[in-house]
Protein backbone atom coordinates (compact mmCIF):
# COMPACT_ATOMS: atom_id res chain seq x y z
CA UNK A 1 0.00 0.00 0.00
CA UNK A 2 2.85 2.39 0.72
CA UNK A 3 4.05 2.62 -2.86
CA UNK A 4 5.58 6.03 -3.46
CA UNK A 5 5.52 8.61 -0.65
CA UNK A 6 5.30 11.35 -3.25
CA UNK A 7 1.89 10.10 -4.39
CA UNK A 8 0.17 11.29 -1.20
CA UNK A 9 0.41 14.37 0.95
CA UNK A 10 1.57 14.20 4.57
CA UNK A 11 -1.96 14.47 5.94
CA UNK A 12 -3.01 11.34 4.08
CA UNK A 13 0.09 9.44 5.19
CA UNK A 14 -0.72 10.37 8.80
CA UNK A 15 -4.26 9.08 8.24
CA UNK A 16 -2.79 5.75 7.10
CA UNK A 17 -0.79 5.53 10.30
CA UNK A 18 -3.77 6.50 12.46
CA UNK A 19 -5.93 3.78 10.84
CA UNK A 20 -3.21 1.18 11.30
CA UNK A 21 -2.83 0.63 7.55
CA UNK A 22 0.92 1.23 7.78
CA UNK A 23 3.40 1.72 10.60
CA UNK A 24 5.82 4.63 11.07
CA UNK A 25 8.66 2.17 10.54
CA UNK A 26 7.26 1.10 7.18
CA UNK A 27 6.94 4.73 6.07
CA UNK A 28 10.52 5.38 7.18
CA UNK A 29 11.69 2.31 5.23
CA UNK A 30 9.95 3.69 2.14
CA UNK A 31 11.54 7.11 2.56
CA UNK A 32 15.00 5.62 3.02
CA UNK A 33 14.52 3.41 -0.03
CA UNK A 34 13.47 6.42 -2.11
CA UNK A 35 16.50 8.32 -0.82
CA UNK A 36 18.84 5.51 -1.83
CA UNK A 37 17.26 5.29 -5.27
CA UNK A 38 16.83 8.95 -6.22
CA UNK A 39 19.17 11.03 -4.12
CA UNK A 40 22.35 10.04 -6.00
CA UNK A 41 20.81 11.74 -9.05
CA UNK A 42 19.46 14.94 -7.46
CA UNK A 43 21.84 15.36 -4.47
CA UNK A 44 19.20 16.73 -2.10
CA UNK A 45 19.34 14.66 1.12
CA UNK A 46 22.37 14.78 3.41
CA UNK A 47 23.41 13.82 6.94
CA UNK A 48 20.96 10.92 7.17
CA UNK A 49 20.40 9.86 10.79
CA UNK A 50 18.59 6.54 10.42
CA UNK A 51 19.31 5.32 13.95
CA UNK A 52 17.98 8.55 15.43
CA UNK A 53 14.80 8.22 13.41
CA UNK A 54 14.27 4.59 14.42
CA UNK A 55 14.90 5.45 18.07
CA UNK A 56 12.27 8.19 17.94
CA UNK A 57 9.76 5.62 16.72
CA UNK A 58 10.79 3.06 19.32
CA UNK A 59 10.57 5.64 22.12
CA UNK A 60 7.02 6.56 21.12
CA UNK A 61 6.07 9.37 18.78
CA UNK A 62 3.98 12.35 19.90
CA UNK A 63 0.32 12.02 18.97
CA UNK A 64 0.36 15.06 16.70
CA UNK A 65 -1.25 15.63 13.30
CA UNK A 66 1.66 14.10 11.36
CA UNK A 67 2.44 11.16 13.60
CA UNK A 68 4.68 8.69 11.77
CA UNK A 69 5.29 10.74 8.63
CA UNK A 70 8.93 10.93 7.41
CA UNK A 71 10.38 14.44 7.45
CA UNK A 72 13.56 16.32 6.56
CA UNK A 73 15.13 19.48 8.01
CA UNK A 74 16.84 22.09 5.89
CA UNK A 75 20.61 22.06 6.40
CA UNK A 76 20.48 25.65 7.61
CA UNK A 77 18.81 26.65 10.87
CA UNK A 78 16.31 24.34 12.63
CA UNK A 79 19.06 23.58 15.15
CA UNK A 80 18.62 20.19 16.82
CA UNK A 81 20.74 18.15 19.21
CA UNK A 82 20.34 14.93 17.25
CA UNK A 83 20.83 16.44 13.80
CA UNK A 84 24.28 17.88 13.05
CA UNK A 85 24.44 20.44 10.25
CA UNK A 86 26.84 21.68 7.60
CA UNK A 87 24.80 24.87 7.16
CA UNK A 88 25.66 24.63 3.47
CA UNK A 89 29.32 25.38 4.15
CA UNK A 90 32.66 23.64 4.58
CA UNK A 91 33.41 26.27 7.21
CA UNK A 92 30.50 25.06 9.37
CA UNK A 93 30.58 21.37 8.47
CA UNK A 94 29.37 18.93 11.12
CA UNK A 95 28.21 21.62 13.53
CA UNK A 96 26.66 20.18 16.71
CA UNK A 97 24.06 21.93 18.85
CA UNK A 98 23.68 21.95 22.62
CA UNK A 99 19.92 22.32 22.57
CA UNK A 100 16.98 22.16 20.19
CA UNK A 101 15.56 25.25 18.53
CA UNK A 102 11.97 26.25 19.23
CA UNK A 103 10.91 25.57 15.65
CA UNK A 104 12.35 22.05 15.77
CA UNK A 105 10.63 21.31 19.09
CA UNK A 106 7.30 22.32 17.59
CA UNK A 107 7.82 20.36 14.38
CA UNK A 108 8.83 17.28 16.37
CA UNK A 109 5.67 17.61 18.49
CA UNK A 110 3.56 17.04 15.35
CA UNK A 111 4.82 13.42 15.38
CA UNK A 112 7.02 13.60 12.29
CA UNK A 113 9.89 11.15 11.94
CA UNK A 114 12.90 13.30 11.06
CA UNK A 115 15.70 11.31 9.43
CA UNK A 116 18.07 13.82 7.88
CA UNK A 117 18.65 17.22 6.34
CA UNK A 118 18.38 18.76 2.87
CA UNK A 119 20.96 20.76 0.96
CA UNK A 120 21.21 24.55 0.96
CA UNK A 121 23.63 27.08 -0.58
CA UNK A 122 26.34 28.44 1.68
CA UNK A 123 24.87 30.94 4.16
CA UNK A 124 21.53 30.70 2.33
CA UNK A 125 22.26 33.61 -0.01
CA UNK A 126 21.65 31.94 -3.39
CA UNK A 127 18.71 31.22 -5.66
CA UNK A 128 20.25 27.84 -6.54
CA UNK A 129 21.66 25.10 -4.32
CA UNK A 130 25.19 24.23 -5.43
CA UNK A 131 27.29 24.24 -2.28
CA UNK A 132 30.79 22.74 -2.39
CA UNK A 133 30.30 20.95 0.94
CA UNK A 134 27.88 18.53 -0.77
CA UNK A 135 30.23 17.71 -3.63
CA UNK A 136 27.99 18.95 -6.41
CA UNK A 137 24.80 20.80 -7.31
CA UNK A 138 21.28 19.88 -6.28
CA UNK A 139 19.26 19.16 -9.42
CA UNK A 140 15.62 19.63 -10.33
CA UNK A 141 13.62 16.38 -10.48
CA UNK A 142 11.61 17.79 -13.40
CA UNK A 143 14.75 18.25 -15.50
CA UNK A 144 18.21 17.46 -14.15
CA UNK A 145 19.85 20.20 -16.21
CA UNK A 146 17.97 22.82 -14.18
CA UNK A 147 18.23 24.04 -10.61
CA UNK A 148 15.71 23.13 -7.93
CA UNK A 149 16.11 26.67 -6.58
CA UNK A 150 17.41 27.99 -3.31
CA UNK A 151 18.05 28.35 -0.62
CA UNK A 152 15.67 25.50 0.35
CA UNK A 153 16.62 23.76 -2.89
CA UNK A 154 17.25 20.38 -1.31
CA UNK A 155 13.88 20.44 0.40
CA UNK A 156 12.12 21.29 -2.85
CA UNK A 157 13.97 18.58 -4.77
CA UNK A 158 13.34 15.92 -2.10
CA UNK A 159 9.59 16.59 -2.06
CA UNK A 160 9.29 16.86 -5.84
CA UNK A 161 11.23 13.60 -6.26
CA UNK A 162 8.84 11.75 -3.94
CA UNK A 163 11.41 11.07 -1.23
CA UNK A 164 9.20 12.74 1.39
CA UNK A 165 5.73 14.25 1.26
CA UNK A 166 6.87 17.52 2.84
CA UNK A 167 9.98 19.14 4.28
CA UNK A 168 11.17 22.06 6.36
CA UNK A 169 12.58 25.16 4.66
CA UNK A 170 13.25 28.81 5.41
CA UNK A 171 12.78 32.04 3.48
CA UNK A 172 14.87 35.21 3.75
CA UNK A 173 14.49 36.44 0.17
CA UNK A 174 12.31 33.81 -1.44
CA UNK A 175 14.07 30.67 -0.22
CA UNK A 176 10.84 28.68 0.21
CA UNK A 177 8.93 30.21 -2.68
CA UNK A 178 11.75 29.97 -5.26
CA UNK A 179 12.16 26.18 -4.87
CA UNK A 180 8.37 25.81 -4.68
CA UNK A 181 8.10 27.55 -8.04
CA UNK A 182 11.03 25.61 -9.50
CA UNK A 183 9.80 22.21 -8.31
CA UNK A 184 6.03 22.49 -8.79
CA UNK A 185 5.18 22.69 -5.07
CA UNK A 186 3.30 24.92 -2.65
CA UNK A 187 5.40 27.34 -0.62
CA UNK A 188 4.06 29.83 1.93
CA UNK A 189 5.98 32.63 3.70
CA UNK A 190 4.05 33.76 6.78
CA UNK A 191 3.86 37.29 8.15
CA UNK A 192 7.08 38.40 9.84
CA UNK A 193 7.52 36.79 13.30
CA UNK A 194 4.63 34.35 12.85
CA UNK A 195 7.09 31.51 13.60
CA UNK A 196 9.78 31.40 16.32
CA UNK A 197 13.46 32.20 15.71
CA UNK A 198 14.94 31.35 19.11
CA UNK A 199 17.02 30.62 20.93
CA UNK A 200 19.83 30.73 18.38
CA UNK A 201 18.67 33.99 16.80
CA UNK A 202 16.63 36.97 17.91
CA UNK A 203 15.69 37.60 14.30
CA UNK A 204 17.04 36.52 10.94
CA UNK A 205 18.39 39.20 8.58
CA UNK A 206 16.70 42.11 10.39
CA UNK A 207 13.45 40.19 10.53
CA UNK A 208 13.33 39.37 6.82
CA UNK A 209 13.98 35.63 7.30
CA UNK A 210 11.43 33.14 8.57
CA UNK A 211 10.94 29.36 8.53
CA UNK A 212 8.48 27.58 6.26
CA UNK A 213 7.64 24.33 4.51
CA UNK A 214 7.74 22.77 1.06
CA UNK A 215 4.53 20.80 0.54
CA UNK A 216 2.35 19.25 -2.14
CA UNK A 217 -0.90 20.42 -0.53
CA UNK A 218 -2.15 23.59 1.11
CA UNK A 219 -3.59 21.60 4.02
CA UNK A 220 -0.15 20.22 4.97
CA UNK A 221 1.25 23.74 5.19
CA UNK A 222 -1.78 25.01 7.10
CA UNK A 223 -1.54 22.25 9.70
CA UNK A 224 2.20 22.65 10.19
CA UNK A 225 1.87 26.43 10.51
CA UNK A 226 -0.79 26.00 13.19
CA UNK A 227 1.48 23.61 15.08
CA UNK A 228 4.52 25.87 14.92
CA UNK A 229 3.25 29.46 15.06
CA UNK A 230 3.69 31.81 17.97
CA UNK A 231 6.73 33.48 19.55
CA UNK A 232 9.32 31.60 21.53
CA UNK A 233 10.17 32.75 25.03
CA UNK A 234 11.75 36.21 24.93
CA UNK A 235 11.06 36.92 21.25
CA UNK A 236 11.76 40.59 20.43
CA UNK A 237 8.40 41.08 18.71
CA UNK A 238 5.35 39.07 17.64
CA UNK A 239 3.08 38.86 14.61
CA UNK A 240 -0.49 40.14 14.80
CA UNK A 241 -2.76 37.39 16.17
CA UNK A 242 -4.84 35.37 13.74
CA UNK A 243 -8.62 35.49 14.03
CA UNK A 244 -8.75 31.76 13.25
CA UNK A 245 -6.32 28.95 12.55
CA UNK A 246 -4.82 28.32 9.14
CA UNK A 247 -6.62 24.98 9.03
CA UNK A 248 -9.94 26.66 9.74
CA UNK A 249 -9.19 29.34 7.14
CA UNK A 250 -8.79 26.80 4.33
CA UNK A 251 -12.02 24.99 5.25
CA UNK A 252 -14.07 27.58 3.36
CA UNK A 253 -13.37 29.95 0.45
CA UNK A 254 -12.42 33.55 1.25
CA UNK A 255 -14.74 36.44 0.51
CA UNK A 256 -14.45 37.74 -3.08
CA UNK A 257 -11.18 39.64 -3.15
CA UNK A 258 -9.75 42.68 -4.92
CA UNK A 259 -6.66 41.51 -6.80
CA UNK A 260 -3.89 43.64 -8.33
CA UNK A 261 -2.38 41.76 -11.30
CA UNK A 262 1.18 42.59 -12.35
CA UNK A 263 2.51 40.65 -15.37
CA UNK A 264 5.85 42.53 -15.39
CA UNK A 265 8.34 43.09 -12.59
CA UNK A 266 7.26 45.62 -9.98
CA UNK A 267 9.44 48.19 -11.75
CA UNK A 268 7.73 47.55 -15.10
CA UNK A 269 10.40 45.39 -16.77
CA UNK A 270 9.09 42.63 -19.01
CA UNK A 271 9.40 39.03 -17.82
CA UNK A 272 9.58 35.78 -19.79
CA UNK A 273 6.52 35.61 -22.10
CA UNK A 274 5.55 32.12 -20.92
CA UNK A 275 5.66 33.27 -17.30
CA UNK A 276 3.69 36.44 -18.04
CA UNK A 277 1.08 34.32 -19.82
CA UNK A 278 0.81 32.06 -16.77
CA UNK A 279 0.23 35.14 -14.58
CA UNK A 280 -2.58 36.33 -16.83
CA UNK A 281 -4.09 32.83 -16.87
CA UNK A 282 -4.08 32.86 -13.07
CA UNK A 283 -5.82 36.23 -13.16
CA UNK A 284 -8.48 34.81 -15.48
CA UNK A 285 -8.98 31.87 -13.11
CA UNK A 286 -9.48 34.26 -10.21
CA UNK A 287 -12.00 36.25 -12.25
CA UNK A 288 -13.85 33.04 -13.09
CA UNK A 289 -14.02 32.35 -9.34
CA UNK A 290 -15.66 35.72 -8.83
CA UNK A 291 -12.71 37.79 -7.62
CA UNK A 292 -12.13 41.31 -8.92
CA UNK A 293 -8.87 41.51 -10.88
CA UNK A 294 -7.31 44.83 -11.92
CA UNK A 295 -3.99 45.31 -13.76
CA UNK A 296 -1.41 47.31 -11.84
CA UNK A 297 1.91 47.31 -10.00
CA UNK A 298 2.66 48.28 -6.41
CA UNK A 299 4.30 51.70 -6.19
CA UNK A 300 7.33 51.29 -3.95
CA UNK A 301 11.08 51.92 -4.18
CA UNK A 302 12.17 48.40 -5.10
CA UNK A 303 15.76 49.37 -6.09
CA UNK A 304 16.26 50.95 -2.64
CA UNK A 305 14.94 47.78 -1.01
CA UNK A 306 17.26 45.59 -3.07
CA UNK A 307 20.31 47.64 -2.06
CA UNK A 308 19.31 47.54 1.61
CA UNK A 309 18.61 43.78 1.43
CA UNK A 310 21.99 43.19 -0.19
CA UNK A 311 23.83 45.17 2.48
CA UNK A 312 21.97 43.61 5.42
CA UNK A 313 22.53 40.08 4.14
CA UNK A 314 26.16 40.87 3.27
CA UNK A 315 26.78 42.11 6.82
CA UNK A 316 24.98 39.08 8.29
CA UNK A 317 27.05 36.73 6.14
CA UNK A 318 30.25 38.49 7.16
CA UNK A 319 29.32 38.11 10.82
CA UNK A 320 28.71 34.37 10.38
CA UNK A 321 31.95 33.86 8.47
CA UNK A 322 34.10 35.88 10.90
CA UNK A 323 32.55 34.17 13.93
CA UNK A 324 33.39 30.72 12.57
CA UNK A 325 36.78 31.30 10.94
CA UNK A 326 38.80 31.56 14.12
CA UNK A 327 41.92 32.67 12.27
CA UNK A 328 41.64 30.00 9.55
CA UNK A 329 42.04 30.80 5.85
CA UNK A 330 38.73 31.86 4.32
CA UNK A 331 39.89 30.94 0.81
CA UNK A 332 40.11 27.26 1.76
CA UNK A 333 36.79 27.04 3.58
CA UNK A 334 34.46 29.71 2.22
CA UNK A 335 32.98 29.95 -1.27
CA UNK A 336 33.43 32.92 -3.54
CA UNK A 337 30.10 34.68 -3.03
CA UNK A 338 30.44 34.49 0.75
CA UNK A 339 34.01 35.83 0.58
CA UNK A 340 32.62 38.59 -1.62
CA UNK A 341 29.95 39.35 0.98
CA UNK A 342 32.68 39.58 3.61
CA UNK A 343 34.67 41.98 1.43
CA UNK A 344 31.56 44.05 0.64
CA UNK A 345 30.66 44.36 4.32
CA UNK A 346 34.13 45.74 5.03
CA UNK A 347 33.50 48.60 2.58
CA UNK A 348 30.38 49.76 4.44
CA UNK A 349 30.38 52.46 7.10
CA UNK A 350 29.53 51.16 10.60
CA UNK A 351 26.26 53.12 10.48
CA UNK A 352 25.12 51.50 7.22
CA UNK A 353 23.45 48.52 8.89
CA UNK A 354 21.01 50.64 10.86
CA UNK A 355 20.47 52.88 7.86
CA UNK A 356 19.62 49.83 5.72
CA UNK A 357 17.24 48.49 8.38
CA UNK A 358 15.54 51.88 8.38
CA UNK A 359 15.18 51.70 4.60
CA UNK A 360 13.61 48.27 4.88
CA UNK A 361 11.13 49.60 7.42
CA UNK A 362 10.33 52.54 5.16
CA UNK A 363 9.82 50.13 2.28
CA UNK A 364 7.35 48.12 4.36
CA UNK A 365 5.32 51.28 4.91
CA UNK A 366 5.46 52.01 1.16
CA UNK A 367 4.11 48.53 0.42
CA UNK A 368 1.35 48.94 3.00
CA UNK A 369 0.24 52.08 1.16
CA UNK A 370 0.67 50.41 -2.24
CA UNK A 371 -1.74 47.59 -1.41
CA UNK A 372 -4.42 49.90 -0.01
CA UNK A 373 -7.65 49.21 -1.90
CA UNK A 374 -6.55 45.64 -2.69
CA UNK A 375 -6.54 42.33 -0.84
CA UNK A 376 -4.00 40.45 -2.98
CA UNK A 377 -1.04 41.23 -5.25
CA UNK A 378 -0.75 38.64 -8.05
CA UNK A 379 2.51 38.22 -9.97
CA UNK A 380 4.96 35.56 -11.07
CA UNK A 381 7.20 33.96 -8.45
CA UNK A 382 10.22 34.01 -10.78
CA UNK A 383 10.74 36.13 -13.90
CA UNK A 384 11.51 33.03 -15.97
CA UNK A 385 11.37 29.21 -15.72
CA UNK A 386 13.95 27.45 -13.49
CA UNK A 387 17.53 28.38 -14.41
CA UNK A 388 20.14 25.97 -15.69
CA UNK A 389 22.51 24.46 -13.15
CA UNK A 390 25.63 26.59 -12.84
CA UNK A 391 24.04 29.92 -13.67
CA UNK A 392 24.07 31.00 -10.01
CA UNK A 393 27.28 29.27 -9.01
CA UNK A 394 28.90 30.61 -5.85
CA UNK A 395 32.33 30.62 -7.47
CA UNK A 396 32.21 34.34 -8.24
CA UNK A 397 33.49 36.65 -5.53
CA UNK A 398 31.47 39.64 -6.80
CA UNK A 399 28.70 39.42 -4.23
CA UNK A 400 26.92 42.62 -5.27
CA UNK A 401 26.81 41.64 -8.95
CA UNK A 402 25.69 38.13 -7.95
CA UNK A 403 22.66 39.67 -6.24
CA UNK A 404 21.96 42.90 -8.15
CA UNK A 405 23.81 42.71 -11.49
CA UNK A 406 21.94 42.39 -14.81
CA UNK A 407 22.41 38.62 -14.74
CA UNK A 408 22.06 38.35 -10.97
CA UNK A 409 19.56 36.85 -8.58
CA UNK A 410 17.27 39.89 -8.30
CA UNK A 411 16.47 40.12 -12.05
CA UNK A 412 15.75 36.37 -11.95
CA UNK A 413 13.72 36.61 -8.73
CA UNK A 414 12.44 40.22 -8.57
CA UNK A 415 9.26 39.51 -6.59
CA UNK A 416 9.99 37.35 -3.57
CA UNK A 417 12.37 39.52 -1.53
CA UNK A 418 9.91 42.42 -1.74
CA UNK A 419 7.70 40.64 0.76
CA UNK A 420 10.54 39.55 3.04
CA UNK A 421 11.37 43.23 3.33
CA UNK A 422 7.76 44.30 3.92
CA UNK A 423 7.02 41.33 6.19
CA UNK A 424 3.81 40.53 4.31
CA UNK A 425 2.57 36.95 3.90
CA UNK A 426 3.26 35.57 0.42
CA UNK A 427 2.92 32.25 -1.37
CA UNK A 428 3.89 30.45 -4.56
CA UNK A 429 1.27 28.15 -6.04
CA UNK A 430 2.13 25.63 -8.81
CA UNK A 431 -0.35 26.71 -11.47
CA UNK A 432 1.87 27.11 -14.55
CA UNK A 433 4.13 25.03 -16.76
CA UNK A 434 6.58 26.00 -19.50
CA UNK A 435 6.54 24.64 -23.05
CA UNK A 436 9.33 22.26 -22.03
CA UNK A 437 7.46 20.95 -18.98
CA UNK A 438 9.18 22.99 -16.26
CA UNK A 439 7.03 24.28 -13.38
CA UNK A 440 6.06 27.95 -13.23
CA UNK A 441 4.95 29.30 -9.87
CA UNK A 442 2.33 32.01 -9.42
CA UNK A 443 2.96 34.43 -6.56
CA UNK A 444 0.25 35.80 -4.27
CA UNK A 445 0.75 38.28 -1.43
CA UNK A 446 -1.65 39.78 1.11
CA UNK A 447 -1.46 42.75 3.52
CA UNK A 448 0.64 42.39 6.66
CA UNK A 449 -0.97 39.97 9.11
CA UNK A 450 -3.61 38.70 6.68
CA UNK A 451 -2.29 35.13 6.53
CA UNK A 452 -5.79 33.63 6.78
CA UNK A 453 -7.00 35.43 3.68
CA UNK A 454 -3.97 34.38 1.67
CA UNK A 455 -3.95 30.72 2.60
CA UNK A 456 -7.72 30.47 2.08
CA UNK A 457 -7.26 31.83 -1.45
CA UNK A 458 -4.45 29.34 -2.09
CA UNK A 459 -6.75 26.50 -1.00
CA UNK A 460 -9.51 27.78 -3.28
CA UNK A 461 -7.10 27.77 -6.22
CA UNK A 462 -6.00 24.24 -5.32
CA UNK A 463 -9.61 23.07 -5.36
CA UNK A 464 -10.29 24.83 -8.68
CA UNK A 465 -7.14 23.56 -10.39
CA UNK A 466 -5.83 20.50 -8.51
CA UNK A 467 -2.08 20.27 -8.94
CA UNK A 468 -1.26 17.11 -6.97
CA UNK A 469 -1.48 14.88 -10.04
CA UNK A 470 1.29 16.84 -11.80
CA UNK A 471 4.48 15.20 -10.68
CA UNK A 472 8.13 15.23 -11.70
CA UNK A 473 9.02 12.34 -14.02
CA UNK A 474 11.34 10.65 -11.53
CA UNK A 475 8.62 10.70 -8.86
CA UNK A 476 6.61 8.19 -10.91
Catalytic hit among 175, 217, 338, 413: 175
Active-site residue (options: 56, 101, 120, 151): 151
The catalytically annotated residue of 56, 74, 338, 379 is 74
- Report how far residue 258's alpha carbon sits from residue 233's, in angstroms, rounded to the nearest whole number: 37
Least Cα distance to 92 among 299, 316, 326, 315 occurs for 326
Where does 152-265 have alpha helices with state H? Answer: 153-160, 177-183, 218-228, 246-249
Is 87 in contact with 134 (CB distance < 8 Å)?
A: no
Q: How far is CA 382 from the centre of its chain?
A: 13
Separation of alpha carbons 373 and 79, rounded Å? 41
Instruction: Look up 320 and say whether it is catalytic.
Output: no
Instruction: For the beta carbon of residue 54, count every other beta carbon within 10 angstroms.
Output: 17
> Are β-strands 376-380 and 258-261 bridged in parallel, bridged antiparallel, or unpaired?
parallel
CA 103 to chain centre: 15
CB-based contact 17:62 (threshold 8 Å) = no
Residue 74 annotated among the catalytic residues of the structure: yes
**Positive/negative CA dihedral, 144, 149, 150, 155:** negative
Q: Is 175 an annotated catalytic residue? A: yes
CA–CA separation, 257 and 346 (whole Å)? 46
Q: Which residues are catalytic?
A: 74, 151, 175
Amino acid sequence: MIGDLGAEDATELANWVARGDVSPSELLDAALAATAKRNPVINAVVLVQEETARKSIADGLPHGPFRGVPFLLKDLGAEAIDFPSHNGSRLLANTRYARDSAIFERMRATGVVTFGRTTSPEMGIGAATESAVYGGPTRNPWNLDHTSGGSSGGAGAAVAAGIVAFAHGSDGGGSVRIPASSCGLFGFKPTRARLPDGPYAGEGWAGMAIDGFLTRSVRDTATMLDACMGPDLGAPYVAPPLLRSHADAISRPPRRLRVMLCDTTFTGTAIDPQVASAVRAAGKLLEDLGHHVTPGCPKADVPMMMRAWTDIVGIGTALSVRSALGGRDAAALVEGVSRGALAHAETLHPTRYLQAVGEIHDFGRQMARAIEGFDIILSATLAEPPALVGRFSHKTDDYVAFRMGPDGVFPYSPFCAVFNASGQPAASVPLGQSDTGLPIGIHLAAPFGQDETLIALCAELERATPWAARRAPMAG
